[in-house]
Structure 1
Amino acid sequence: MDPDRNKHIRNVAIILVLAVAVWKLPGGGTAAATIGNVFSVLFLGGFCWLGYRLYMEHRDTVMGLEERQRALAYGAFALTIFAVAATGRLWSDLGIAGGMLWMLMLGLAGWAFYSVWRAYKTY
């Protein structure tokens, strides 16, 4: 089976033609933003599905944690989601202070996850 030698050149040319169409055609920017939003929703939906599957597969382990550790894990997860959702606003509106607050939130969430993992492995 002989591979097509011009396959990669053809694929790059298709991408370039689509990029020029989005750039030059009227309404192309709106179409690009719409497609980007659709991909973003699909990407986030995939993460939600992955989280649901992981939770369902490890539900016994999560429910086996003591209440304090489970609350700490849920809180760390919520803080991580909040930090990721507020990334743009924290970095652009608050500048360096917002960036430091963002890093602090993710650092606290990481510490909480590590603390829960360490307590889980101890017993």
Structure 2
Amino acid sequence: MQTARNVAIVLGLALIVAVVPGGDAAAETILVALSMAFLAAIAWAAAGFYRSRSLTFDAMPDSRRAILFGSVGAIALLLVGFEEFRSWGGGVLVWIALMAAAIAAIFVVWRDANSH
């Protein structure tokens, strides 16, 4: 019974989006708000992680810290610019390669920081 109720709620919301004038814009607005809230939660968690491990970051050599922060920045730019990569042939493969390189760099810095 609860599943049927949940399905009815989802179908009702879909009907509202499809039938009501401006429903598309409202749905897009809600989606953007949820995306921004999700990204804000990620940023908050990252800031808390940085604060709790600040001594580890301060003890890293400047070159390793630059690689770490550069990789995090590259990931942020790749997430924001995904649509640009998707718009041309082979862009998704380049995006995946760059994302893999940034993640690998973070892993190497993490492994180096925890090996001593």
Task: Tell me whether the two structures share a fold, i.e. TM-score over 0.5.
Answer: yes
What does residue 89 of structure 2 align with?
95
Q: How does 1:5-16 map to 2 (within 5 A)?
A: 6-16=1-11
Larger displacement relative to structure 2 (113-122 or 52-61):
113-122
1:39 partner letter: L
Larger displacement relative to structure 2 (106-115 or 80-89):
106-115
Deviation at 1:117, TM superposition (A): 1.8
Deviation at 1:66, TM superposition (A): 1.3
The answer to whether 1:54 aligns with 2:52 is no
Deviation at 1:104, TM superposition (A): 2.3
Partner SS state of residue 26, structure 1: coil
Deviation at 1:23, TM superposition (A): 0.6
Gaps of 5+ in 2: none
1:95 partner letter: G
What does residue 38 of structure 1 align with?
33
Gaps of 5+ in 1: 1-5
Aligned length: 116
Partner SS state of residue 115, structure 1: helix
2:114 partner letter: K
Structure 2 length-normalised TM: 0.91
Report the RMSD for the aligned CA atoms in angstroms: 1.3
Over residues 34-72 of structure 1, what are the superposed CA-to-partner deviations in whole Å (9 max), with x where a residue is unaligned? Answer: 111111111111111111111111111111111111111
2:21 partner letter: P
Deviation at 1:9, TM superposition (A): 1.2
Runs in 1 of length 4+ with deviation above 6 angstroms?
none
Identical aligned residues as a percent: 29
